[in-house]
Each structure stands twice: as C-alpha cells, then as structure tokens.
Amino acid sequence: MRFETLAAIALVFIPFSLSSIGGGGAIVAGIQHETVVVHAWLNSRQFLDVFAVSRAAPGPGMMLATVIGWKVAGWLGALVATLALFIPSSLLCYSVFKLTNMHREKKWHRAMREGLAPVGVGLIIAGIIALFRLADGGILAAAIACLAAAVLIWYPRFPVLGILVLGAFIAAIVSIPLSS
C-alpha cells in the first residue's frame, strides 16, 4: 500500500472530523464531494451504495469513512479513515468541554452553543441535498422523504423501521405500471 494514498485518506477525513458540527450527517456532502469529485475514488453510484451499507451496518453512523477507506486502500485504508474521522473530533470535544465546562452559566458560553445549532442544521440539510442529487430519485423520492419527515415530526415514537417499510411500499406501488 502506498503511503501517499493513506496520507490522502487521512487528509480528507481529518478536516471533516474537526468540522462535523451537528454530527456525522453534517459532513456527508463534503465527503461525497471529496471522494467522488476531487479524488475520484468512487463514482456517484458507488458512493450511494457505500453510504447505504455504512448506514445499515451496526456501529457509529459515520462508518462511511471506514467503508470508503476500505474501498480505496483495503484494511489499512479503513483503519486510517476511521481514526482520521473519529480521533481529532474526540480530542477536540474533550478539550473544549474541559476548558469551557466551568463557564456554563456565562453569556458567551450560551451564545456559542446556540450559534452552533443552526450551523449543524444547515450542514445536515446540505448532506441531504447532496444525497438527493446523487440518487436522482425525482419527485417520488422527494415526496417519500417529506412524508417520512412529517410522520416522524408528528409521531416521534413511530418506529424508523416502519418508515423504511412504508417508503419502500409506496415506491413499489407507484412504480408498478397501471396497464399490462
């Protein structure tokens, strides 16, 4: 395995680790851009497949980095990508928590927390838009996504597996030709 490839993997995922405000979903669009457009490690279809596999696998939701690292450079690539995504942000979060925890009641601390929330939401929305563009599902996909979001907003205890089954059922029914 070439050192340059492993270094490139690390240099892609370390910045995302440090900018994943809002969680892993907030960096999906950037990871897609880097791995598909910039480095051409995957094509759009492969990225969607890797994303689906990483979300279905047990473990942290951002196993996407692990699967991309594995596709690019085997087991060593998977290890480098995983460590590059999880270690820097973990160290940063721990350090910031230790430094700012004693200032919880101060105005600047509250402003920092409240200011980061919309940034995280915006990054997550960017990730959703990037996945929609890659999937090219059209109006049907957008309608199913909106329906799923509405159900989860109005009925937060609705089982997520039920949403997946319902979405698949709707897509299957709509896709069946009406005339034989």
Q: How confident is the model at residue 131 (pLDDT cuts 50, 70, 90)?
A: confident
Instruction: State the chain's mean pLDDT as an integer.
Output: 86
Same structural domain, 84 and 156: no
> Which residue's entry shows tokens 């809002």?
22
pLDDT, residue 93, reads 82
Lowest mean pLDDT segment, chosen from 35-49, 104-118, 151-165: 104-118
% pLDDT > 90, the chain: 37
pLDDT, residue 56, reads 78
The range of the structural domain enclosing residue 161 comes to: 138-180
Same structural domain, 177 and 132: no
Q: How confident is the model at residue 69 (pLDDT cuts 50, 70, 90)?
A: very high
**CA distance readout (Å), 140 to 135, 167, 180:** 12, 10, 22
pLDDT (mean) for 74-91: 94
Same structural domain, 79 and 148: no
Lookup: tokens for 135: 């999937």
